[in-house]
């Protein structure tokens, strides 16, 4: 029986780097867990206890993200870096080829920051969708 390697869509190194800010849920958003990311954000990583536990859970979160999301020409890590540092300007949307909403984000400050928050919830799915379209 042949064994196939799971494509690497997310970086474990980046996961550990954003874990440093894990009490904000950043690593959980990155690995496609927006609900628990939001809970971590509002509870300081479940009062720092969940944050410490996540130090040991990152490898399994990385494997789950790699299995769940489609690899392709759009890199998840680059999209996340663009969202994190330039998200209110819509640069991540330009990267994904979403020019209209990128322009909208640019002139409205990430659609008045609500769109920025929306993208934290949905960026992995947006990249996944663009990768699926690109490989057709």
Residue 133, φ and ψ in degrees, nearest 5: -65, -45
pTM of the full structure: 0.89
- 21-77 per-position pLDDT tens digit: 877 899 999 999 999 999 999 999 989 899 999 999 999 999 999 999 999 999 999
The tokens describing 55, both together, are: 């130090």
Whole-angstrom distance, CA of residue 49 vs CA of residue 121 = 23
How many degrees, rounded to 5, is the angle at CA 7 between CA 6 and CA 11?
110
Question: Cα dist. 92→1, 5, 38, 68, 120 in Å?
Answer: 40, 28, 21, 21, 11
The neighbour count for residue 89, using CB atoms within 10 Å, is 17
d(CA 98, CA 129): 12
The two tokens of residue 19 are: 């874990």
Q: What is the pLDDT of residues 92-127, one digit of tens each?
A: 999 999 999 999 999 999 989 899 899 999 999 999
């Amino acid at each position: 029986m042949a064994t196939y390697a799971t494509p690497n869509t997310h970086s474990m190194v980046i996961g550990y780097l954003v874990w440093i800010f894990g009490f904000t849920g950043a690593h959980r958003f990155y690995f496609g867990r927006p609900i628990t990311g939001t809970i971590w954000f509002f509870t300081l990583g479940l009062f720092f206890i969940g944050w410490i536990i996540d130090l040991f859970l990152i490898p399994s979160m990385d494997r789950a993200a790699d299995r769940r999301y489609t690899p392709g020409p759009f890199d998840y890590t680059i999209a996340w870096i663009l969202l994190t540092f330039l998200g209110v300007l819509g640069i991540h949307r330009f990267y994904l080829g979403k020019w209209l909403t990128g322009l909208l984000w640019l002139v409205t400050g990430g659609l008045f920051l609500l769109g920025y928050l929306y993208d934290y919830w949905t960026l992995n799915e947006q990249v996944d969708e663009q990768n699926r379209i690109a490989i057709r």
